Structure 1
Amino acid sequence: MNYKTKLKIERWKKGPFVAYTILAVTGFMFLLQEILGGSTNQWVLVQLGAKVNQLIVLGEWYRLITPMFLHIGLTHILFNALIIYFLGIQLESVFGHWRFFALYFISGIVGNATSFAFNPSVSAGASTAIFGLFGSTLVLVKLFPGHPQIKAMAKNFTLLIVLNLVFGLFSPGIDMAGHIGGLAGGYLAAFALSTPRAWRTTKKQQLTYGLALIGVVALLIIIGYSRFIPVLNLFS
């Protein structure tokens, strides 16, 4: 391997390659949706892994993950992609590659589990994971108390969280359960994962939040099953 190749690999490792990979996979899935019949086509959404509560109850657990990579319409994916790009790059530099990877996926899973528990509609989108990224910015203030840049970032994203939640309340078709669940999931996950250079964190604190996170997901899945199994039994 020559020097230039090694240099490119080192730059890739130091760069936000997790955020870029998420964007690439999300973009690929959107193109696939369009090829198969359109991103707003419900049949395409269901076939590619949108959140469908009845199918999750029947054992298709992967639908707690796959909705993060599907979007409904061009505006939907562009808005989410911009947030992943600008916020994701910042957070990946703070949390590190694999913690950021875990944060994104855990947030999305908790958001989709919350949607499974409380929203009967078919849903898709990276918003569950993105709200988790929002939630993590609130935690950074506690991990780095007094840090001026992190304090400013958290203040800006607190306003963005409030605006998004208010907008969602008055917009039909918005999966508010998924958004709130993702926000809570990201908050808990950020404490559980912490950061490599956190000023204030302990292993006990990380374990406590990690166990709380597992408990929340388990409870949401139980609620989802209890709500939808009786419905399925009516048709069996």
Structure 2
Amino acid sequence: MQRNITSYLIILNVLIFIMMFLFGGISAFSNPRIYILFGAQLGNLITAGEWFRLITSMFVHGGLFHIFFNMFALFYVGNLVERAYGKERFISIYILSGLFGNLLTHLFLPGAISVGASGAIFGLIGLLFGAGFRHDTPTMLRPVTGTALLPIILINVIWGFLPGANINNFAHLGGLGIGFTFGWLTPIRYTKGSYQLWRTLSYLSYGLIIASFILLLIFDFRYYIF
């Protein structure tokens, strides 16, 4: 049976988490240097030309609870979106949402080390949220779209503003905004000519992931390991 894209994303996130643990043990998740080695986002590094961290940081997590909750959400929401919208739109919106959330982080939290898939996952939630405001959204999807998602969104945003929460709301809100825009403007069924566009965007998304990790390896060996 062919795996879906959601499964591959979860596997990649978990593999990177395991590699971090093998590299530095439990202390890896409190060591800024190891976060940098594995692709975390940091403003001055991005400004210096390491733009690929806007992508690689989506696959790095800051501890067991962080990756567990993110992968649980990705499994549930990702599978739902992938079945409804198809692989091409799923991966494109996932990467675009995460990228935009990380760009907002770079603008408003340039000094913070930022990691996690939550900006991209919030993009998928935003996609379903926006779909609820379209008249052509299938009835079977109505219970998991639109205002039905509002409590989940509000709880997560409010939680992010609590003292000591250590949650990147800029990534969440950026991803949510991109996802909502696509959900509101894009019909679930492909329109004439749109499939080829989304297919091209999906190839670009895959290429961006691969290129970003290749560049991370090059920069790691050039500047951070030796």
What corresponds to 1:30 in structure 2?
17
TM-score with structure 2 setting the length: 0.77
Q: Alignment partner for residue 158 of structure 1, among 150, 170, 182?
A: 150
Query: Within 1, Cα distance between the matches of 2:140 and 2:150?
Result: 14
1:178-231 CA-partner distances (Å, limit 9, x unpaired): 111111122234456643357xx997xx9xxx9xxxxxxxxxxxxxxxxxxxxx
Give the drift of 1:148: 3.5
1:183 aligns with 2:176: yes
Task: Return the index of the structure with the highest Cα Rg.
Answer: 1
Q: Alignment partner for residue 48 of structure 2, among 41, 58, 66?
A: 58
Say if 1:29 and 1:69, in contact at 8 Å, map to a contact too. yes
- Unpaired segments ≥5 residues, structure 2: 202-226
The code of the aligned residue for 1:42 comes to P
What corresponds to 1:44 in structure 2?
34
Write out aligned runs for 1:115-154 (5 A).
Answer: 115-120=105-110, 121-145=112-136, 147-154=138-145
Two-structure CA RMSD over aligned residues (Å): 2.4
The code of the aligned residue for 1:168 comes to G
The code of the aligned residue for 1:20 comes to S
1:14-44 CA-partner distances (Å, limit 9, x unpaired): x6x1000000000000001111212332111
1:116-143 CA-partner distances (Å, limit 9, x unpaired): 0111311100011011111101222234
Query: Within 2, Cα distance between the matches of 1:88 and 1:184?
Result: 17
What corresponds to 1:107 in structure 2?
97
The 3-state SS of whatever aligns with 1:49 is coil
What corresponds to 1:168 in structure 2?
160
TM-score with structure 1 setting the length: 0.74
Say if 2:126 and 2:179, in contact at 8 Å, map to a contact too. yes
User: Residues 192 and 50 (structure 1 numbering): CA distance in 2 closer, same or farther, change over 3 Å?
Assistant: farther
Write out aligned runs for 1:202-221 (5 A).
Answer: none
Say if 2:130 and 2:183, in contact at 8 Å, map to a contact too. yes
Q: Percent identity?
A: 28
Q: Alignment partner for residue 84 of structure 2, among 89, 94, 119?
A: 94
The 3-state SS of whatever aligns with 2:167 is coil
Give the drift of 1:79: 0.2
User: Residues 123 and 146 (structure 1 numbering): CA distance in 2 closer, same or farther, change over 3 Å?
Assistant: closer
Say if 1:39 and 1:45, in contact at 8 Å, map to a contact too. yes
Query: Within 1, Cα distance between the matches of 2:34 and 2:48?
Result: 19
Say if 2:136 and 2:187, in contact at 8 Å, map to a contact too. no
The 3-state SS of whatever aligns with 2:41 is coil
Give the drift of 1:147: 3.8
Say if 2:13 and 2:59, in contact at 8 Å, map to a contact too. yes
User: Residues 83 and 144 (structure 1 numbering): CA distance in 2 closer, same or farther, change over 3 Å?
Assistant: farther
Q: Count residues in correspondence.
A: 190
- Unpaired segments ≥5 residues, structure 1: 1-7, 211-236
